[in-house]
């Protein structure tokens, strides 16, 4: 097995292979996912077109205040390592983010949960972006649900174990644009961090590398994108659910020598879903490593720590 194994999730042995990959690396590359090429291409191309807009047009959908979850974040607007409680230089990237594209049908009483359902900001200068991104967001939501069913089986649970905990998910999606710098300048495009939610589905640039994960021996290893695939990594919520049987792996993006783009779908559980040790992940006569915590507050604490004022 390579550090980031390729798993055909349409195969019968997918749950077992996913279990092995999540335990060893916390990362896997998935093929056989069934997401239409046209849906992927439209999301990718409109993201590229957005970052090619004049700065004034991008700033029309800038996050209206530091900490607002969606919209455009200009260069150096975030420092991901701060989510680990560490100081670092701002990340050398710009991004555009959206949240849920379908409005909630349940009653929201928690103001923090209401924040997670904040309005998306769409660029008037690029009207094709909204329909392309809404279609892609829904496709990623469906893919995440399918992955969680395979993961449940891999963990020895009923296939639908996670279904009631993700039917009101507050997931987010971000396109990231890293400017190329010849020879690099000692900075990181995305500083070392773990993700916060259940899992991340990454559409990575197949031509330009830079994504690295930290191996269990502490060395940084390159993650190569396979054309037509998605790179999937686990977030902190899944590590807590599995009592660290599965890894939420530290990863980073080195400053590329040429422009690099990616689109990350950050899947989160329902705001009030309890993240507590799964019964199949607790050894006999042992206590869970982590106290139960609701998914929403866990997510909010991590997110707010990364934002830089601008």
Do the domain assignments include residue 129? yes
- Angle, helices 14-24/129-154, rounded to nearest 10 degrees: 90
Which tens digit of pLDDT belongs to each residue from 245-290? 999 999 998 877 788 899 999 999 999 999 999 999 998 889 999 9
- Is 162 a residue whose pLDDT tops 70? yes
User: What is the distance in angstroms between the CA of the first residue and the CA of the last residue of the chain?
Assistant: 44
Q: With bands split at pLDDT 50, 70 and 90, how would you rate the model's confidence at 183?
A: low
Q: Measure the CA–CA gap between 2 and 205, rounded to whole angstroms.
A: 20
Q: Kindly report the CATH number assigned to the domain that includes residue 110.
A: 2.60.120.330
Do the domain assignments include residue 310? no
Q: What is the pLDDT of residue 92?
A: 82
Q: Measure the CA–CA gap between 307 and 272, rounded to whole angstroms.
A: 24
Among 237, 109, 250, residue whose Cα is nearest residue 162: 237
Do the domain assignments include residue 1? no
Do the domain assignments include residue 86? yes
Mean pLDDT value of segment 173-186:
78
Looking at the 3D structure of the chain, how many domains does it have?
Answer: 1
DSSP-derived 3-state class of residue 193? strand
Report pTM.
0.91
Residue 213, phi then psi, degrees to nearest 5: -115, 155
Q: What is the pLDDT of residue 39?
A: 98
Do the domain assignments include residue 163? yes
pLDDT over 90 percentage in the chain: 67
DSSP 77-90: -B-GGGGGT---PP
Q: What is the pLDDT of residue 243?
A: 96
Do the domain assignments include residue 19? yes
Quote the domain boundaries for residue 243.
6-304
Alpha helices (H) along 52-178: 55-59, 111-116, 129-154
Mean pLDDT value of segment 41-69:
95
Which tens digit of pLDDT belongs to each residue from 101-133? 998 888 888 888 898 999 999 999 999 999 999
Do the domain assignments include residue 84? yes
CA angle 288, 290, 293 (to 5 degrees): 125
């Amino acid at each position: 097995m390579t550090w980031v194994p390729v798993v055909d999730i349409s195969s019968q042995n997918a749950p077992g292979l996913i279990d092995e990959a999540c335990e060893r690396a916390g990362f896997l590359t998935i093929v056989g996912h069934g997401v239409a090429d046209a849906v992927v291409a439209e999301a990718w191309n409109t993201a590229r077109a957005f970052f090619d807009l004049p700065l004034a047009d991008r700033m029309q959908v800038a996050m209206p205040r530091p900490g607002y979850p969606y919209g455009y974040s200009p260069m150096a607007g975030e420092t991901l390592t701060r989510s680990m409680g560490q100081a670092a230089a701002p990340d050398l990237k710009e991004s555009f983010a959206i949240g849920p594209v379908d409005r909630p049908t349940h009653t929201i009483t928690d103001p923090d949960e209401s924040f997670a359902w904040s309005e998306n900001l769409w660029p008037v200068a690029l009207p094709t972006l909204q329909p392309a991104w809404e279609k892609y967001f829904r496709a990623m939501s469906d893919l995440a649900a399918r992955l969680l069913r395979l993961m449940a089986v891999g963990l020895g649970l009923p296939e639908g174990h996670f279904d009631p905990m993700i039917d009101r998910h507050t997931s987010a999606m971000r396109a990231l644009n890293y400017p190329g710098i010849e020879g690099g300048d000692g900075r990181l495009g995305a500083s070392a961090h773990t993700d916060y939610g259940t899992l991340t589905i990454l559409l990575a640039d197949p031509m330009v590398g830079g994504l690295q994960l930290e191996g269990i021996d502490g060395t940084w290893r390159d993650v190569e994108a396979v054309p037509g695939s998605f790179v999937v990594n686990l977030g902190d919520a899944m590590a807590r659910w599995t009592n660290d049987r599965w890894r939420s792996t530290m990863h980073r993006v080195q400053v590329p020598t040429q422009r690099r783009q990616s689109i990350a779908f950050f899947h989160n559980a329902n705001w009030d879903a309890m993240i507590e040790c799964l019964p199949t992940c607790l050894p006999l006569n042992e206590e869970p490593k982590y106290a139960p915590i609701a998914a929403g507050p866990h997510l909010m604490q991590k997110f707010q720590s990364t934002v830089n004022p601008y």
